[in-house]
Amino acid sequence: MALVPLNAGSPPDFGAPLPNLTAAQLASFNSGKTEFLNVETVAEGVGPIFNDFSCASCHSVPTVGGGSAILETRFGRLKPSGEFDPMSEYGGSLIQSQGIGATGLCEYIPEVVPAQATIVASRRTTPLFGLGLVDNVPDAAFKLIAALQRLDPDGSAGVVSMVPDLTTGKPAVGKFGWKAQNPNLHQFSGDAYLNEMGITSPQFPNENCPGGDCSYLACNPLSGVNDNGDGVEELTDFMTQLAPPPRGPIGAAAVLGEYQFHKIGCANCHVSTLVTGASPVAALNRVAFHPYSDFLLHDMGSLGDGITQNNATGRLMRTAPLWGLRVETTLLHDGRATTLEQAIAAHDGQGAKSRDRFAKLSGFERSQLIAFLKSL
């Protein structure tokens, strides 16, 4: 069957649904968007510790479903053996930055990084545009990309993140999150519901213990499973049918810049084109799209965040998709870079060769590459 180019006509704008959805699919997108925008309450299950009351509070740039410069905090330490310790007894590794306050005999306050932690990392809010396309790429495609990368003499081969799929109970390819820790958007939604808003659901039925002290859950004003799964499904529908970022204007400099992008090896990891598998949703069925990522884990050396999640150790980070780059206000996983040049210069580990080649380009060639990146 012939592949369908994603944006053969006029591409949808940021935050719009995928093109050519049926009336029923568009209705589920809009219902999911309403849930995404909804400001949840303690009576609906928020807390007792959490990061915000709404998905859209963080996913807002340049519009609903985007990313933002908002950071969350993770912490941990290394054991004498060198193994990462998430310090679960202190509520690690993710900090929940808000609490619902006094309830019964308990007072739920924001978590803080314990003094014993030796690793503290920030994580920037990632955009959600186009992730339904990524979700519909077969696992075998990511494994093939990793196998082909191993043939490249550059030494930048990625690692497939294999994580538990809570629906099937089997290992699956992780694609979502800075550590590729979630294998599909449904699990990604349930994870965020729990860890960002404190809302439990069938796949994530257990509340986070405030500061690691589970005795505090005795005062939880809404114990039990907070969401019966409907909210998670609505969030999944919204993200699944959210269109990818539209490409910006492509001038001559951007065209030449894409050549430089390939020449210095950026495309080894920031793979330009992926193809979805078969799907009952026509807008997701065998579609070629351009995320500029392989969604694999790569050893980034000093650019790693030190945090281990599943099989992603402290030096391993998922390749960030570059589509929509032109509207992001801060760059890299911790938002440390505010310019593309700074972001490239911070690359290390398997990204070091491309970083060094960029530094050796002429000023004119570098400007072409930057023009290309600013068109994404």
In this structure, the answer to whether residues 148 and 274 fall within a common structural domain is: no
Give the bridge partners for 108, in sequence order: 101
267, burial (CB in 10 Å: exposed 0-12, middle 13-18, buried 19+): middle
Tell me which of 187, 205, 240 is where a domain ends: 240
DSSP-assigned letter for residue 368 = H
In this structure, the answer to whether residues 68 and 139 fall within a common structural domain is: yes
Give the bridge partners for 99, in sequence order: 49
In this structure, the answer to whether residues 205 and 64 fall within a common structural domain is: yes
Percentage above 90 pLDDT, the chain: 96
> Within a domain: residue 360?
yes
pLDDT at 9: 56
> Within a domain: residue 37?
yes
In this structure, the answer to whether residues 74 and 195 fall within a common structural domain is: yes
Q: Looking at residue 315, which CATH number applies to its domain?
A: 1.10.760.10
In the chain, the number of structural domains is 2
CA separation (Å) from 42 to 107, 192, 227, 234?
14, 16, 12, 20
In this structure, the answer to whether residues 233 and 266 fall within a common structural domain is: no
Structure tokens, 1: 């069957």
In this structure, the answer to whether residues 98 and 17 fall within a common structural domain is: yes
> Within a domain: residue 247?
no
In this structure, the answer to whether residues 179 and 277 fall within a common structural domain is: no
Q: In the structure, what pLDDT confidence band is assigned to residue 342 with cuts at 50, 70 and 90? A: very high
Tell me which of 215, 240, 265 is where a domain ends: 240
pLDDT at 1: 44
C-beta of residue 239 within 8 angstroms of C-beta of residue 129:
no
Is the predicted pLDDT of residue 4 greater than 80, yes or no? no
Average confidence (pLDDT) over 41-65? 97
In this structure, the answer to whether residues 191 and 316 fall within a common structural domain is: no
Q: In the structure, what pLDDT confidence band is assigned to residue 11 with cuts at 50, 70 and 90? A: confident
Domain that holds residue 110: 12-240
C-beta of residue 333 within 8 angstroms of C-beta of residue 346:
no
Per-residue pLDDT of 269-284, as tens digits, reads 999 999 999 999 999 9
In this structure, the answer to whether residues 297 and 228 fall within a common structural domain is: no
In this structure, the answer to whether residues 221 and 320 fall within a common structural domain is: no
- Cα 67 from Cα 166, distance rounded (Å): 26
> Within a domain: residue 6?
no
Cβ partners under 8 Å of residue 251, min gap 6: 371, 375
> Within a domain: residue 124?
yes
Cis peptide before 62 (omega within 30 of 0): yes
DSSP 74-132: EEEEE-TTS-EE--GGGT-SB---EE-EEETTEEE------TT--EEEEEEPPP-TTHH
> Within a domain: residue 331?
yes
The mean predicted confidence, pLDDT, of the chain is 96
- CA 191 vs. chain centroid, Å, equals 12
Q: In the structure, what pLDDT confidence band is assigned to residue 355 with cuts at 50, 70 and 90? A: very high
In this structure, the answer to whether residues 210 and 267 fall within a common structural domain is: no
In this structure, the answer to whether residues 139 and 271 fall within a common structural domain is: no
Sign of CA dihedral 98, 102, 105, 107: positive
Tell me which of 198, 219, 240 is where a domain ends: 240
- Cα 177 from Cα 68, distance rounded (Å): 14
> Within a domain: residue 1?
no
> Within a domain: residue 2?
no
